[in-house]
């Protein structure tokens, strides 16, 4: 009997040691390789370089858009790639800095950017983070922050000869929203406003959502932050929050919370997309999506606007007509990218605005 108990104790001890070692090993892997879990510059079946993209996703001129192919230097010497899509009179209009989500290169955002370019009548700087597309380097949180700073430095120096740097609007979708919020917090005088679409409170809050089993050890393991929740309350800029109510990746409550935290914003606007998921809100929103963005930008930069600042009601512009002249992404492109079904659900032409 004693021999059996001894063997059982030995087996149990081995099991505990082995399990502990596996747990420590797993936590160590998560600590070291966090960037690989968040940033996806390349994926199976999706080209990394814009030059290797399918036809229609390689260059803005495939949509008849005049553009500059630029490489922007960052403070650490890394150069990032961007397309500056220019209106016929680029210094007379606003410029949107488009920070995309966490997967794939800027070419896969061309259908979205082309519609923005046409309907919002703005210049668009479509940016690939370091390690993405044709950009140099490897993606890290600090690296992407330097990318955002480099973009603003470029637009306020060399780019200022092409665009009006006093009319810069940061647009960020998902991860791009965190990049935009960081840039607005650290360079508040260099931008006029923000548009945030389906972004998150923080990486910590997302861990609670997608890896709840890590919640009790995340203070030890988690290095990445992207703390939008702490930065949003500091911003005084006008902010438009675009939220897909069926977002399957970031809980809808994250956007609701960020909107509520923007207590210092001089213009806090809310555009819900009833059937919008994480990546397709711009399509599910139909033309009302573009009506609202154009109206918001008009308010921010002092251009003629169709938003009633007292009621938040969006009046339909008579010169904005829907079109079907943009390409849908190839069916093999994963749902992680900003392309999905072209089925539209038109929400009410209204944004909610708080009187502060």
Q: Which residues are catalytic?
A: 174, 247, 278
What stretch of H or E contains 206? helix 203-210
- Phi, psi at 87, each rounded to 5°: -70, 165
Count other C-beta atoms under 10 Å from residue 148's C-beta.
27
* Both tokens assigned to 124: 């668009």
Alpha carbon distance 189, 192 (integer Å): 8
Please tell me the distance from the alpha carbon of residue 128 to that of residue 106, in angstroms, as a whole number. 6
CA–CA dist 303, 294 (Å, integer) = 10
C-alpha dihedral over 246, 103, 334, 342, to 10 degrees?
A: 50
172's enclosing H/E stretch is strand 168-173
Q: What radius of gyration, in Å, describes the C-alpha atoms of the chain?
A: 22
Residue 115 structure tokens: 């519609």
- Rounded CA separation 323/6 (Å): 77
| Rounded Cα gap, residues 223 and 232, in angstroms | 20
Which residue bears the tokens 């675009």? 242
Sequence-separated contacts (24+) of 272-275 with Cβ below 8 Å:
272/243, 272/245, 272/347, 273/242, 273/243, 273/244, 273/245, 273/345, 273/347, 274/245, 274/246, 274/345, 274/347, 275/244, 275/245, 275/246, 275/345
CA distance 126 to 109: 8
DSSP lists the bridge partners of residue 283 as none
């Amino acid at each position: 009997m004693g021999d059996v108990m001894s063997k059982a104790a030995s087996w149990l001890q081995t099991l505990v040691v082995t399990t502990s070692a596996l747990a420590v090993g797993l936590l160590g892997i998560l600590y070291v390789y966090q960037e690989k879990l968040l940033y996806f510059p390349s994926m199976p079946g999706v080209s990394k370089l814009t030059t290797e993209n399918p036809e229609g996703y390689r260059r803005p001129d495939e949509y008849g858009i005049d553009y500059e192919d630029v490489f922007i230097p960052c403070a650490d010497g890394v150069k990032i790639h961007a397309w500056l899509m220019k209106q016929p009179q680029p210094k007379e209009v606003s410029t949107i800095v488009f920070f995309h989500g966490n997967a794939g290169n800027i070419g896969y955002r061309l259908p979205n950017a082309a519609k923005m370019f046409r309907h919002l009548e703005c210049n668009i700087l479509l940016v690939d983070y370091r390690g993405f597309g044709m950009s140099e380097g490897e993606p890290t949180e600090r690296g992407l922050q330097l990318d955002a700073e480099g973009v603003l430095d470029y637009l306020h120096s060399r780019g200022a000869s092409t665009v009006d740097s006093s009319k810069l609007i940061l647009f960020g979708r998902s991860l791009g929203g965190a990049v935009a919020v960081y840039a607005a917090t650290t360079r508040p005088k260099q931008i006029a406003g923000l548009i945030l679409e389906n972004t998150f409170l923080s990486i910590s809050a997302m861990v609670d959502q997608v890896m709840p089993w890590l919640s009790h050890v995340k203070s030890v393991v988690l290095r990445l932050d992207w703390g939008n929740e702490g930065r949003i309350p500091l911003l005084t800029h006008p902010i438009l929050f675009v939220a897909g109510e069926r977002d399957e990746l970031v809980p809808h409550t994250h956007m609701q919370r960020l909107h509520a935290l923007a207590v210092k914003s001089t213009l806090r606007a809310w555009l819900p997309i009833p059937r919008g998921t994480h990546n397709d809100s711009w399509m599910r929103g139909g033309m009302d999506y573009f009506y609202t963005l154009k109206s918001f930008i008009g308010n921010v930069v002092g251009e003629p606007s169709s938003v009633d600042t007292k009621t938040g009601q969006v009046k339909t512009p008579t010169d904005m007509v829907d079109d079907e002249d943009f390409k849908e992404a190839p069916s093999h492109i994963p749902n992680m990218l900003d392309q999905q079904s072209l089925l539209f659900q038109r929400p009410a032409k209204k944004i909610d605005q708080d009187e502060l």
